Structure 1
Amino acid sequence: MYFNTSLLLSLTLAISSLALPMTGTPDDDKVKRAGVLTVQDYADFQVSDGIAGNALAEVQAKFPIDETNLANVASTDLAIIKAARVTAESAETDTGGFNDAISAAGGTSTTAGAALQVGKIKNKVLKLKLEVLGLQIDQAQSGTDNTAEITAETTKLNSNIALDKKAAGQTSQSVDFQGDDSP
């Protein structure tokens, strides 16, 4: 039996091309990624312990969201980000939070109070970064214009990042605050 080599090659290429996965479809950018975050206690996602100077990087390590593709952030991740922001704010202002702890330590002029104040600033970086990130994700996914709010919160975030960097090397103390980031 005689086979035409060029016909066989053409058929093989045609069949092989059908078996290849399709990429670059118009709906690719609408596919949500699987969530990368899990629900944690405040003690596990807080960044206030340790040393000042690198709070933003610490927050980004705890919340590793791909900020280059916010439209595709999983809804579960967005819910955790929003809940974590609320908890971080509560850790600052609610009973048993930073404000109470600093007062109980005798204010920021004491060693314990100063370390708590440094921790409070790092907690503000956490809270504000999550606020900005949540607003940016909402905007990217819904088309809602959050520009003014993002700008205002980014200004506060940058101010607290600068305070954290100014305190670089200083001891930072967290508070024993009960809460989590469950939506």
Structure 2
Amino acid sequence: MRFTVALLVASAAFTQARVFTQKTYDEISISGGVAGNGEQEALAVFSELDLNDLASADEADIEFLDSVNSICNDAEKEAFNKAIDAADGEEADALQRGKIKNKILKLEATMLRLMIEQAQGADVADEMAAELKKLNNNIKQDEDEAGNASTALQFDAETD
């Protein structure tokens, strides 16, 4: 009986460690709506993560964050860049604003992954500084366009 209870407790603790579940790109995308709040929208996607206990984050959550980066990169190259090239005027501008919000989501995922790795003992300070510079640049671009329409594009991809 004790073994069963211990096994259940250990199993529950292991299950609770992973906070993110598999999502499609369209489920996590923040590109639509209006520009100006991309940072807050991106952070809301990752709100399940306990920022006060990053050292105990599960490897599956690190993989999730890495896959968010990857699918956002793919969406940028395979969807946004092509759509922007084919558009003009306000349509192209709204797509560009959506692309910037997509980059914010990608970079927030990367920063969270790096923060976890740092909390777990990895030396990632240089990479964090480089990614933070990119993130801040994209946040500023998003804020500069606050209130303007931002176009989302559907993209067929899933996180890990």
**TM-score bracket for the superposition, by shorter chain length:** 0.7 to 0.9
The TM-score with structure 1 as length reference comes to: 0.76
CA RMSD after TM alignment: 1.4
Report what 1:179 is aligned to.
157
Report what 2:126 is aligned to.
148
How many angstroms does 1:136 deviate by? 1.4
Report what 1:4 is aligned to.
none
Report what 2:81 is aligned to.
99
Kept in 1, the 8 Å contact 2:23–2:158? The answer is yes
How many angstroms does 1:68 deviate by? 2.4
Matched, 1:63 2:42: no
Report what 2:18 is aligned to.
35
Higher helix share: 2
Unaligned 5+ residue runs, structure 2?
1-12
The TM-score with structure 2 as length reference comes to: 0.86
How many angstroms does 1:55 deviate by? 0.7
CA deviations on 1:25-67 (whole Å, 9 max, x unpaired) are xxxxxx8752221111000001001111111111111111222
Report what 1:128 is aligned to.
107
Work out the percentage of aligned pairs sharing the same amino acid. Answer: 39
How many angstroms does 1:151 deviate by? 0.5
Moved more, 64-73 or 145-154: 64-73
With a CA cutoff of 8 Å and minimum separation of 6, indicate the structure with the bigger relative contact order.
2
Number of aligned residue pairs: give it.
146
How many angstroms does 1:128 deviate by? 0.8
Matched, 1:52 2:31: no
- The separation in 2 between residues aligned to 1:176 and 1:48, in whole angstroms, is 10
The code of the aligned residue for 1:70 comes to L
| Structure with bigger gyration radius | 1
How many angstroms does 1:174 deviate by? 1.3
Unaligned 5+ residue runs, structure 1?
1-30
